[in-house]
């Protein structure tokens, strides 16, 4: 046989061996799947037989006929009818320590970051980048060692045992925006790859008719989640907001504690899969402070100030540095405390803080003590309003009247409540509380006039008169 012809011979079996390294057939949905490798992720792409035939039509194999003539044939036509082709009964997703059955293809392809070698200690750029990423985790936990260790173990458990149910949801909330909460998620999205991590802002992606977007996801970030920002608080009552927030918390508790997840996908029958996803919420909504917190929902109020832009640029660059991410991954993977029997619920830190004791300045006088005990406790928003009037009176001794919009007053209230870690009511509820305080008292008596101008509610306050009236009611001590 001509040696030149032998070099052109591409047998079916050798072509099949190379082809099936990344391609297989699934009997359950009659689809052909291809494993796509990229530098920063893995992807499993499904195609129908028709689409599959078009894509792979150029692939040929060759053989000699009885006349020793070399003939080329379309590989796909033979492969799809081959009873010995690579095939599986169904797909599953079984990260370790879960184990798939022999007739199942495991969609868990591992962490893409592990394909890269561990950088040597001499790689200062990788080491400094890794330390910067760890520093940002510390920043998001207020540099509190206990909170940092708990979040670190949460992520380490995710890396070492991705198929294990954590049963804990993290909530990072702050009054300030752009302090790096979303950047924390970006670090781990780059670490895991977009096939294992996703950020969503629509509740329907989880609770709606179709939820396949969260299947096969290891980390799910609820970014400024719509349940806390869906409609303006001004249009709803405080009780409606509380009920909605509590309802969301109950649904999340149910979701993170279920053994299995029912996946609902378009044009496909729903199916069940193990529930292993971890949830991280990042929000600047003030309503997050009214989120019911228990052993399943771990909330961290982030108190850090906004850092310099150069800091965020440096963290963002480190989060895209493969070597820095590889070091971070290795540290998490080798965390000794993250064992398979680690129960994150059992070791949950106690973040409850006792209320601060009242100082001398806010302690009621002896004459008013009995009246304080006999009355209902002063609502926090009314206490704030009274103290605000007293502060304005002290600052504006030369001015009798003071004008402020309800919008500005509510902004000051939420800022102080957030700093004190107290519950925040809605703007409309605060407006009702102030009107209830006035209780139809004439302006000439209480010194406070509430009115609407140009679409905004405003308060025109006669400071000396208001101070005397609030003192008589025992709401403040005039000094």
Mean per-residue pLDDT pooled into runs of 10, the chain (479 residues): 53 93 91 87 86 89 81 90 93 90 92 93 93 96 93 96 91 86 94 92 84 91 66 54 73 86 82 88 76 79 86 93 96 94 88 38 38 55 88 76 87 85 80 79 82 78 86 73
The domains found in the chain, sorted by start residue, are 3-88 (no CATH), 115-333 (3.40.50.300), 360-472 (1.10.10)
Number of Cβ atoms within 10 Å of the Cβ of 152: 19
**pLDDT computed for residue 114 by the predictor:** 92
> Which residue reads 């099949």 in tokens?
16
Tell me how far apart the alpha carbons of residues 89 and 28 are, in angstroms, rounded to a whole number.
6
- DSSP bridge pairs for 106: 92
* Residue pair 301/174 in contact by the 8 Å Cβ criterion: yes
Q: What is the DSSP string of 249-284?
A: HHHHHHHHH-SEEEE--TTS--EEEE---EEEEEE-
The b-or-e profile of 338-372 (16+ CB within 10 A means b, else e) is beeebebeeeeeeeeeeeeeeeeeeebeeebeeee
Query: In this predicted structure, what is the pLDDT of residue 429?
Result: 79
The first and second tokens of residue 62, run together, are 């060759």
> Helix, strand or coil for residue 119?
coil
Q: What pLDDT does residue 264 have?
A: 87
Q: What is the pLDDT of residue 439?
A: 72
Residue 336's pLDDT is what?
Answer: 94
Residues 212, 262 contacting (CB under 8 angstroms): no
> CA–CA distance from 317 to each of 137, 214, 310 (Å)?
15, 27, 10
Q: What pLDDT does 417 receive?
A: 84
C-alpha gyration radius of the chain: 31
Give the residue from 214, 339, 324 showing the smallest Cα distance to 273.
214
Q: Are strands 70-74 and 23-26 parallel, antiparallel or unpaired?
A: unpaired
Whole-number pLDDT of residue 225: 66
């Amino acid at each position: 046989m001509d040696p030149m012809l032998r070099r052109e011979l591409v047998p079916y079996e050798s072509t099949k061996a190379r082809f099936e390294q990344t391609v297989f057939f699934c009997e359950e949905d009659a689809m052909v799947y291809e494993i796509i490798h990229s530098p920063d992720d893995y992807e499993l792409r499904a195609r129908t037989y028709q689409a599959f035939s078009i894509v792979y039509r150029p692939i040929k194999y060759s053989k000699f006929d009885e006349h020793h003539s070399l003939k080329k044939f379309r590989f796909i036509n033979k492969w799809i009818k081959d009873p010995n082709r690579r095939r599986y009964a169904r797909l599953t997703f079984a990260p370790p320590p879960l184990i798939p059955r022999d007739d199942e293809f495991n969609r868990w392809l591992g962490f893409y970051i592990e394909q890269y070698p561990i950088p040597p200690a001499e790689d200062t750029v990788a080491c400094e980048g890794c330390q910067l990423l760890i520093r940002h985790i510390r920043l998001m936990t207020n540099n509190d060692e206990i909170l940092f260790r708990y979040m670190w173990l949460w992520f380490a458990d995710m890396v070492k045992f991705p198929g294990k149910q954590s049963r804990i949801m993290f909530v990072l909330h702050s009054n300030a925006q752009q302090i790096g909460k979303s950047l924390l998620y970006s670090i781990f999205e780059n670490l895991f790859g977009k096939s294992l991590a996703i950020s969503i802002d629509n509740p329907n992606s989880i609770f709606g008719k179709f939820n396949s977007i969260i299947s096969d996801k290891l980390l799910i970030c609820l970014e400024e989640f719509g349940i806390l920002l869906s409609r303006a608080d001004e249009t709803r009552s405080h009780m409606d907001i509380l009920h909605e927030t509590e309802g969301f918390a109950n649904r999340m508790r149910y979701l993170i504690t279920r053994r299995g997840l029912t996946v609902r996908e378009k044009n496909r029958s729903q199916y069940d899969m193990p529930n292993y996803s971890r949830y991280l919420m990042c929000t600047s909504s003030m309503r997050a402070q009214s989120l019911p917190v228990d052993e399943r929902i771990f909330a961290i109020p982030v108190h850090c100030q906004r850092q310099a832009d150069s800091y965020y640029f440096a963290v963002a660059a480190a989060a895209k540095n493969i070597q820095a991410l590889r070091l971070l991954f290795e540290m998490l993977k080798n965390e000794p405390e993250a064992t398979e029997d680690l129960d994150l619920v059992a070791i949950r830190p106690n973040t409850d803080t006792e209320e601060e004791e009242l100082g001398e300045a806010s302690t009621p006088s002896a004459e008013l003590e009995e009246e304080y005990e006999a009355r209902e406790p002063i609502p926090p928003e009314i206490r704030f309003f009274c103290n605000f009037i007293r502060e304005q009176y002290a600052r504006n001794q030369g001015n009798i009247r003071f004008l402020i919009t309800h919008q500005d007053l509510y902004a000051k209230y939420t800022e102080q409540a957030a700093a004190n870690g107290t519950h925040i009511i809605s703007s409309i509820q605060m407006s009702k509380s102030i009107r209830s305080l006035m209780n139809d008292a004439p302006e000439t008596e209480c010194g406070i006039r509430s009115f609407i101008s140009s679409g905004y509610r405003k308060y025109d306050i006669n400071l000396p008169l208001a101070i005397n009236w609030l003192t008589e009611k025992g709401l403040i001590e005039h000094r």
